[in-house]
Structure 1
Amino acid sequence: MPSNSKLAFAWLFITLVFIGALGYQLTVRNQSPIETNILALLPENRQDPIAQEAFDQVANSMSDKVIFLIGGQDKQVLLAASEQLSTELATVGLFSKVTGRISQNVQQAWGELYFPKRFQLLTPEQQARLQHTPELQNQQVLQALYNPFSGVTGNELRSDPFLLFRDFLSQLTKQSGNFQLTDGFLTTDYQGKDYILITADLSDSAYSLSLQRQLPALTTLENSIRQQYNVDVLHTGVIFYAAHGTESAKSEISTIGLGSLLGVIVLLLAVYRSPLPIALALLSISCGLLSAFVLTVAIFGKVHLFSLVFGASLIGVSIDYAFHFLTDRLAAGKTWNAQQGLQHIFAAITLGLITSLIGYLGMLIAPFPGLQQLSLFSAIGLTAAYATVVCWYPILARKPSQQRNALPFMHTMTAWLNLWQKPVIRVAFPSIIFIVALMGMYHADYNDDIRQLQALPSDLKQQEATIKSITGVSSSQQMLLVKAADEQDLLNQLQQVTQQLDTYQQQGALGGYQSISQYLPSEKTQRDNFALVKQLYQQQGDALTQQLKLNAPVAFEQTFTPLTIDDFLASPVADPLRFMWLGKLQGMQSAIIMLSDVHQPKIIQQFATQHLNISYLNKADEVSLLFGEYRVRVTELLIGATLAIWALLTWRYGMKKGILLILPPVIAGCVGIAVTTITGVPLNLFNLLALILILGIGIDYTLFFAEQDHAIDDNAEGNSESVSTQSTFLAISLSAATTLLSFGLLALSATQAIHSFGITVLTGIIVAWLLAPLSMSVQSMSVHDKQTNNTRHNEANE
């Protein structure tokens, strides 16, 4: 048994524990370990915990809603289609509540809530009229009575002689959107068609994988309604975007993961021509992915699909160390000694792990949970792959490989390495690449928009835009958070804010808004309204009695009882509005005002900053701003990591050699940024994270060449049994190829941020591989020539 048997058993025990933990996470836990909610990637509000809690409540409430619109030109057919759709939606299993035809109880709820309080509810126009020209209200009543379409009844006139309540209800209807009630359904017309609105509440989170799997049944139902009634069926809701994101991520994981895996297998077969290297490589990959998944779930609770898309790329990196071990084994032939082989590469792969971890773990500074998961996932996986090589490979690969006359691609590698002996190549080639890269970087443009994280399908965006045009209701998550010490103070503040918003709306800075205060005045306003109405009855009651020739005089005999927030929230009227009243958060009564079509956000922001208890919430802009801030921080980190790695290399190899080692990955990073810029893709935080990976991975290539110089110093005669430049270059080439297969495939992603990340890594790794021989000294090259000539001489003698 080899001397590292204790390490092998220890790593076997740890791996078995991870396998058991994986089984628990996948089967025993009550929830899936996969996170699909895009909001889980975002950082919390840094300044205001109330704002973060408010955003979470509103986002959760809005994400659980689904809107359907059924459109057609035949109203009767449209009503029948809507009736059937609303009935069958309840049987799909997706929804806990479907609102199609509005019941009589819900229709009566408006009257039941507001009618008893009608003497204290006025529109702003009525308030102004009663304050300044109350006699005009009499004319309003006369005009309504003589209008044959007004529908004024004797009962209404007796209960509300000045017809104030009907105008108040009319205003509420306008605030609720473009709809009117027809045969129990909310209907509207748009571009020559009638549309009926149906809303539904999901039975679980929009990001629930089990719920998303039921969407095909919903699609089937919609198609059936379209064909049967020849109507349009539109829908919008977070669940459709979430499902698209989930499927895109799964597809990209399959493309990247399986593509990398197949590429690795093909490379292994082409180079090693043996099943053992394939089994060992797959073992490294499996241990890396297993360890990364289990520990990430244990630490974060879940693994986000976004992290797994990047984590799938780990396949191409986690077997770099395996390549060096297996290539040394291939080169040694019958003289192979597993322990000596591990000893030969141990310093290089350990330094490579350290420098790669500097690159991966550098992403932990970003405040985005998704990036932190990616960082941890990759670092754990790479460490596990390293442990697999060190602990198990000397045991599992004790036997020598089949004897080969020469390594694969030896003549091509020899020709390339020979070029690097020429001083003009060593100076001119890197310099030209660097200058061209700087020219490309000069035109670099940054775009920190968080929306790049999610690829939105055009058909869903088109449906959402159409529904917004028809309904007049926006799904924007721009809002104002208003806080106060108590409920009445909060209602007063909401009214004051809405007055300012009315001004902004008239100025064109804002398209519209929705607030609880539009449906529930504060107690102070209700008292003021009550006083105005009482004064109206006292001043104009006799005149109205005479004008209408009423049998009983118009008199005011009401007492004031406020309509409270509890009354409002308990009514079905509040169902679509209840989410805006947040209640007590962090000791403060809080509510939000939803904004739509914010054309001049700076004006709204400035207004909010002038008031202590008002906050402007726009999560996308907030996180985009953070993206920009952390892009600067990551740039600083990148510079610091480069200097730290250079210091480490200088300590081991000397200053001149340290510069030659650090130059290839630095130039490669510049090329990656330049090419990404030239392709027209805006740069963002992810491109800088790509530079950290290029630095961490690219430095491995130069490190392994540098270790050859150390080996030559220890073996002045250049014995090929201890020094194998060809095997090193072959291992580096295989590592670069698998890295390109993994990270390079990210360039195929439909998500712009991931796509640009992939382009940067793809081009950067290619250049890092091309320039890696720069780290070899001319002395090492000469020894390499001697080895090559001896090999060819031996082949000729044979």
Structure 2
Amino acid sequence: MKAWGLTLAWLSLLVSALVVVFILKQPTLNNDILALLPKSEPRLQQVEEHFFAANKQQLSFSFRGENAVKAYDNLEQWLASKHIEPRFKLPEISQLAAFYGQYAGHLVSEEYKQAIGDANRFQQYYFSQLSKVADPFVSSTINQDPSLATAGFLSEAMAHMQQFELQDGRININYQGDEYLMLFVQSADNAFSINQSIALSNEIVAYIAELESRYPDTQIRYAGALFHTAANAQQAKFEMTLFGSVSLLALIVMVVWVFRSINALWLAYVTVISAAIGGTIALICIFSQIHVLTMVFAVTLIGIAIDYAFHGMLDLTEQPQGFSQGLKLALLLSLLTTTLGYASLFFSPVQLLSQVGVFVVAGLVTAWLCTRILLPYWQTGLTINTAAHQLANMLSGYLKRLTHYRVALSMLMLVLLSAFALLKPPVINDDVKLLNASPADLMQNEALHMSLLGKDNGQIMILFADNAQQLLVQQEALKATIRGLNGRVLMLSDLVPSKQLQQQNYAQMHSAQQAMSVVSQMTGMPVELSTPMLDLNAALNSPLAPLIANQVISNNTLTASWFMVTGVNKTELMDLTNAYPDLIVYDKVAMISEGLSHYSNSLLVTLAIAMTFALLLFSVKFGFKTACKQTLVLVLTTAAVLLLCSALQSQLSIFNLLGCLLILALAIDYLVFYQVNNLSPSNVLAISLSAASSMWVFGMLAVSKTPAIFSFGLTVLVGLVCIYIFAPLSIALPKNKEK
């Protein structure tokens, strides 16, 4: 009864702590794939949040076929009923004309500048403009500015912006001989909650399927972060449930087969659930948002936490007075080495890995406490069945015979691994796309929409400045350089010229008396140039705002603007960044991949440091000669894992290296248990059960559709097989047992 009371009190304490922490912190479950990416440096992060945060809620749809217009209108109306409105609401030309007309004489197009210098040429130009009776720019501005300078400026600005045609308010694009309609909408801010994102995505996809059945000759494609996050969330939830359930089932089968006892099954359950609750408490305390993929990786805790229960229960079946000193030492060393391995994830640039590190470290500490405190009270109810005894003796004998060939096996492995490394050197790929598990058709939709918008070969650039006017001046100089390279670019300064340029325009208009007299003669109206100049603040508080608000940020800390350049190769763009120190090429994928590459290099260094630390630890505890053997096992295991995974996957990623870090921690565990308790049948059985449970758990991850999880699971699975074979080679058996 005491054992039951203490165990229930332990579980009650953990559950109470979890409830308290949950109420106080109120965490949310996040499934936004973009939230996994490393954060940029503070200045760039502020710019990203201002410029691109809204893209998370943007959805895009393309329509092609005979009934594209009907499908477009039906979907737009249906989305509006869901409070999902069009993202782009362009101002009326009359509104723009009224706004720009206030600054007549300061806003002049390039064509107008060329004509104004010669009276005869200007007369021809002006007459041709007046004859365009249907031109909305002329008709809407002539009353405010009879010189038609504003009309020319507005016409030129809109021509630069118009990358596609508008037909009855719908965006029309001709691409590879086909006509497409495009619809851009903005979903609600709360659409990325775990349940609403999935529900909204499923509703939209179902309605699109209904439209395609209604209009079979029309194809509708959809894209947007919402669909990616929903797909990843559904896959993660499925894998989390499947992997967790199958792993628990496998552990139940193993425990029941070995111990044939409800008590043993209960203790295994208590150990695993204690680890899960302890890890969850730590996660909630440290992170306000927990990513759903964290829970998929965290399933691996089951395979590690159960190790403590296996070793503890098997040791108690042979010790009349609680745990042996050897097991106590091995458990402590195992906890220290494994937690150190996972603690290295705390500093990962990928928040997913940081969360996994916190969850597993806290879970392992809780599992260790559970094993040390609770298991001794259940000693009387623990026994091993005969079949498990026979298996333990058989495995022990096999591993003892294996140690006779340790030198030959070690040399053979060194030769094979060296030859393999020379013939097929491993290649590390740090592409951030490995985080993505989105369906192929969704990726194809994204690629199509990028091509339709002409952004598949464009490059985003960001220009920083001390203030708004300096930004506009630099943009005007940069724009001239880019267009001199036959590139195309639309900048903020196309719509809001700098005051420096406006002053030049005003001076040129003021000095062109003959041209202005032509205006007066033809219209009978005097030409009056306005005094005030257009500035950025005025533009941001005008009908022009929807066109520019998302292109510029200007506050007390920084001023910056982004734009996209097409038609210029990357080498020339990099030359531009050298010529303009405040200009950067913004390639988020490349930036994150570069960050992951640096982290991959640091992981390799961490692996080397960990092996050095293990060598020192083993030398102090077991002697230098034994430590060298154990370190050789670690080196062979790590090399074998990387080479085999490289062959199976064709390339390695940061997740393979993270898997190696875990394998290193587990390998040190096995080496410690072998060195402390040798190849005794109970120790071999405990390690075999631990290895089998871990292989099962990580083997499940190796069938994941998420590339990152697959790489991690495959690495640990291969590593467990290798370390199970190599670890016994480091044991120094008595000479009479080696004969």
> TM-score when scaled to structure 2?
0.90
In the other structure, the counterpart of 2:309 is: 322
In the other structure, the counterpart of 2:504 is: 528
In the other structure, the counterpart of 2:483 is: 502
Q: Does 1:36 align with 2:31?
A: yes
2:469 to 488, 501, 526: 488
Cα separation, 2, equivalents of 1:258 and 1:761:
20
The more displaced of 673-682 and 17-26 is 17-26
Deviations 1:522-574 (A, max 9, x none): 222223223333444x222445677xxx4x54641232222232332223443
Q: Secondary structure at the match of 2:76?
A: helix
**Counterpart contact for 1:271–1:408, Cα < 8 Å:** no
Shift in Å at residue 469 of structure 1? 2.7
Gaps of 5+ in 1: 710-723, 786-798
1:197 to 179, 182, 200: 182
The more displaced of 159-168 and 55-64 is 159-168
Which aligned pairs between 1:302-313 and structure 2 lie closer than 5 A?
A: 302-313=289-300
Which aligned pairs between 1:239-388 and structure 2 lie closer than 5 A?
A: 239-329=226-316, 332=318, 337=320, 339-341=321-323, 343-388=325-370
**Counterpart contact for 1:634–1:688, Cα < 8 Å:** yes
In the other structure, the counterpart of 1:238 is: 225
Deviations 1:58-77 (A, max 9, x none): 2312222222233333xxx5
Cα separation, 2, equivalents of 1:525 and 1:282:
75
Deviations 1:740-783 (A, max 9, x none): 12223332233333322322222111010011221322318839
**Counterpart contact for 1:51–1:617, Cα < 8 Å:** no
**Counterpart contact for 2:659–2:715, Cα < 8 Å:** yes
Instruction: Letter of the 1:479 partner, please give it.
Output: M
**Pair 226,328 (structure 1): closer, same or farther in 2 beyond 3 Å:** same
**Counterpart contact for 1:293–1:303, Cα < 8 Å:** no
**Counterpart contact for 1:119–1:533, Cα < 8 Å:** yes
**Pair 751,178 (structure 1): closer, same or farther in 2 beyond 3 Å:** same
**Pair 386,258 (structure 1): closer, same or farther in 2 beyond 3 Å:** same
Instruction: Letter of the 2:608 partner, please give it.
Output: I
Instruction: Letter of the 2:193 partner, please give it.
Output: S
Which aligned pairs between 1:675-690 and structure 2 lie closer than 5 A?
A: 675-690=644-659
In the other structure, the counterpart of 1:739 is: 694
In the other structure, the counterpart of 2:724 is: 769
Which aligned pairs between 1:384-395 and structure 2 lie closer than 5 A?
A: 384-395=366-377
Q: Does 1:428 align with 2:423?
A: no
Cα separation, 2, equivalents of 1:609 and 1:21:
56
Q: Secondary structure at the match of 1:398?
A: helix
Shift in Å at residue 390 of structure 1? 0.7
2:169 to 172, 181, 184: 184
**Pair 400,671 (structure 1): closer, same or farther in 2 beyond 3 Å:** same
2:96 to 95, 98, 110: 110
**Pair 475,290 (structure 1): closer, same or farther in 2 beyond 3 Å:** farther
In the other structure, the counterpart of 2:433 is: 451
Identity %: 24
Deviations 1:192-241 (A, max 9, x none): 54433332222115643243032211222222333334433222222222
2:82 to 83, 92, 113: 92
Shift in Å at residue 178 of structure 1? 3.1
In the other structure, the counterpart of 1:791 is: none
Which aligned pairs between 1:640-789 and structure 2 lie closer than 5 A?
A: 640-709=609-678, 725-779=680-734, 782=737
Shift in Å at residue 392 of structure 1? 0.8
The more displaced of 740-749 and 116-125 is 116-125
Which aligned pairs between 1:32-181 and structure 2 lie closer than 5 A?
A: 32=28, 34-46=29-41, 49-73=42-66, 77-92=67-82, 95=84, 97-98=85-86, 106=92, 108-130=94-116, 135-143=120-128, 163-181=148-166
Deviations 1:266-288 (A, max 9, x none): 22233223332222112111111
Instruction: Letter of the 1:92 partner, please give it.
Output: K
Instruction: Letter of the 1:20 partner, please give it.
Output: S
The more displaced of 762-771 and 565-574 is 565-574
Q: Secondary structure at the match of 2:381?
A: coil
Cα separation, 1, equivalents of 2:374 and 2:437:
42
Shift in Å at residue 687 of structure 1? 2.3
In the other structure, the counterpart of 2:18 is: 22
In the other structure, the counterpart of 1:460 is: 442
Q: Does 1:559 align with 2:530?
A: yes
Query: Aligned-residue CA RMSD in angstroms?
Result: 3.3
Cα separation, 2, equivalents of 1:599 and 1:758:
42
Q: Does 1:580 align with 2:566?
A: no
Shift in Å at residue 729 of structure 1? 0.9
Shift in Å at residue 143 of structure 1? 4.2
May I ask how many residue pairs the two structures share in their alignment? 735
Q: Does 1:222 align with 2:208?
A: yes
**Counterpart contact for 1:694–1:761, Cα < 8 Å:** yes
Cα separation, 2, equivalents of 1:223 and 1:610:
51
Q: Secondary structure at the match of 2:173?
A: strand
Shift in Å at residue 181 of structure 1? 3.2
**Counterpart contact for 1:523–1:562, Cα < 8 Å:** yes
Shift in Å at residue 452 of structure 1? 2.1
Q: Secondary structure at the match of 2:463?
A: strand
Instruction: Letter of the 2:274 partner, please give it.
Output: C
Deviations 1:442-470 (A, max 9, x none): 41112222232223432122212222233
Cα separation, 1, equivalents of 2:556 and 2:585:
17
Instruction: Letter of the 1:619 partner, please give it.
Output: K
Cα separation, 1, equivalents of 2:544 and 2:167:
18
**Pair 686,188 (structure 1): closer, same or farther in 2 beyond 3 Å:** closer
Q: Secondary structure at the match of 1:683?
A: coil
Shift in Å at residue 576 of structure 1? 4.6
Instruction: Letter of the 1:186 partner, please give it.
Output: I
Q: Secondary structure at the match of 1:743?
A: helix
Cα separation, 2, equivalents of 1:108 and 1:18:
67
**Pair 408,219 (structure 1): closer, same or farther in 2 beyond 3 Å:** farther
**Pair 156,362 (structure 1): closer, same or farther in 2 beyond 3 Å:** closer
**Pair 29,341 (structure 1): closer, same or farther in 2 beyond 3 Å:** closer
Shift in Å at residue 293 of structure 1? 1.5
**Pair 121,405 (structure 1): closer, same or farther in 2 beyond 3 Å:** closer
**Pair 478,433 (structure 1): closer, same or farther in 2 beyond 3 Å:** farther
Q: Secondary structure at the match of 1:187?
A: strand
> TM-score when scaled to structure 1?
0.84
**Pair 780,596 (structure 1): closer, same or farther in 2 beyond 3 Å:** farther
**Pair 260,59 (structure 1): closer, same or farther in 2 beyond 3 Å:** farther
